[in-house]
């Protein structure tokens, strides 16, 4: 498939581009007044996720407003555990909560099987609808949480300060945790491949909580299953190569390991020096990131200056996708996002 703007895909495939592509984690989100209006229409977050029409609407909002170089499917990483019967809800000020978290070995070993066009059909409907509405303007990114990150929520029941339940299980019964992670990896492979078949042009695996772990535990319980997923993904579909991105928050200490698992790109949080990362892993993978989201709390002039710093850090040549080092904050002024996108568009050609 050819896109009117193919800068994002070309960069992932190491092809020549005239500028650095730009997209943003959580680019369809609460900082946009049009998103808040759509969410109010939906009634709650899960209704918004489960309505293909509304998910399409909010996916396209930042593309229409800012002209990002890629759209990302509007959904949530916790759709898989919800489909497995853990009963996901979102409470204002508390975030995601599972009413039926995993508490026993029997529950872990007897998780419900998930049908991609049954329990998760609403996601696939949204993918098909978004691709149609995008009309080849830009590519659509699909995504999933990593098995480790999904398991943290499934065992803890919600976000946590220390994640003691999963970390305790990791040491007290590693075989059981491996069984859970292995099962989740199989489901994620099927989930991402279903997104690919339905039209996404690239996929990203979010490992939000891998940074909790020591290096050895990260390799054994997180990266191992990310690699299994990458090995199981459809690499080409309809004569189109499907590139992949991995992102571990607080994962900068393991860049060399991440660069060796088969992804096309590695995302960096804002605590990792982009020039150090490029020097360390060279051209082995594309680098994505990594402006501090807090920069967008400032003003357009400061945003522009910080964009230039990020571009300077990466330096001359292709192989960089501009993004934040994590998701945008809900209260950001959209004018600062516009300043970021405009600055990347205007300044980055000089580096190519």
Q: Binding site: which residues?
A: 26-30, 76, 153, 208, 326
Cβ atoms of residues 245 and 263 within 8 Å: yes
Count H helices and E strands in the chain, helices first: 16, 11
Q: Which of 260, 276, 272, 279 is nearest to 326 (CA)?
A: 272
Q: What is the largest CA-CA distance in the chain?
A: 58
Q: Residues comprising the binding site for substrate?
A: 26-30, 76, 153, 208, 326
What is the Cα–Cα distance from 17 to 14, expressed in whole angstroms? 9
Distance CA 144, CA 51 (A): 18
**Helices 174-197 and 147-156, interaxial angle, to 10°?**
120
Coil vs helix vs strand at 297 = helix
Q: How far apart are CA 187 and CA 81, in angstroms?
A: 10
Give the number of other Cβ atoms within 10 Å of residue 58's Cβ: 24
Report how far apart, in Å, the C-alpha atoms of 105 and of each of 41, 214, 226 are: 40, 25, 23
284 burial (CB, 10 Å; 0-12 / 13-18 / 19+) is middle
Catalytically active residues, by annotation: 26, 30, 39, 76, 153
Please state, in angstroms and rounded to a whole number, the distance separating the CA atoms of residues 167 and 173. 10
Inter-residue contact 14 to 318 (CB < 8 Å): yes
């Amino acid at each position: 498939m050819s896109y009117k703007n193919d800068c994002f895909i070309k960069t992932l495939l190491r092809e020549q581009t005239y500028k650095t592509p730009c997209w943003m984690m959580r680019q369809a989100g609460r900082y946009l007044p049009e998103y808040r209006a759509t969410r109010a229409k939906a009634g709650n977050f899960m209704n918004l996720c489960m309505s293909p029409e509304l998910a399409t609407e909010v996916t396209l909002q930042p593309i229409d407003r800012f002209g990002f170089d890629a759209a990302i499917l509007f959904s949530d990483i916790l759709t898989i555990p919800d489909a497995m019967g853990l009963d996901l809800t979102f409470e204002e000020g508390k975030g995601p909560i599972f009413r039926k978290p995993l508490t026993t070995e029997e529950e872990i070993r007897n998780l419900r099987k998930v049908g991609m066009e049954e329990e998760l059909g609403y996601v696939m409907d949204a993918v098909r609808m978004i691709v149609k509405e995008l009309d080849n303007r830009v590519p659509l990114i699909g995504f999933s949480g990593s098995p480790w990150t999904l398991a943290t929520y499934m065992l803890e029941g919600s976000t946590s300060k220390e994640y003691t339940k999963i970390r305790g299980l990791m040491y007290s019964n590693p075989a059981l945790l491996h069984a859970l992670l292995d099962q989740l990896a199989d489901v994620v492979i099927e989930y991402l491949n279903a997104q690919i078949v339905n039209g996404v042009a690239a996929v990203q695996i979010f490992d939000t909580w891998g940074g909790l772990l020591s290096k050895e535990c990260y390799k054994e319980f997180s990266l191992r299953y990310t690699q299994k997923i990458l090995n199981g993904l459809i690499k080409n579909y309809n004569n189109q190569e499907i590139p992949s991105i991995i992102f571990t928050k607080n994962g900068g200490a393991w860049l060399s390991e991440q660069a060796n698992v088969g992804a096309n790109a590695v995302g960096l949080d804002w605590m990792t020096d982009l020039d150090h990362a490029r020097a360390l892993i060279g051209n082995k993978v594309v680098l994505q990131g990594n402006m501090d989201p807090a920069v967008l709390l400032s003003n357009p002039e400061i945003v522009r200056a910080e964009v230039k710093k990020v571009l300077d850090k990466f330096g001359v040549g292709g192989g960089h996708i501009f993004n934040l080092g994590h998701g945008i904050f809900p209260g950001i002024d959209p004018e600062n996002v516009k300043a970021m996108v405009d600055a990347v568009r205007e300044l980055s050609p000089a580096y190519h």
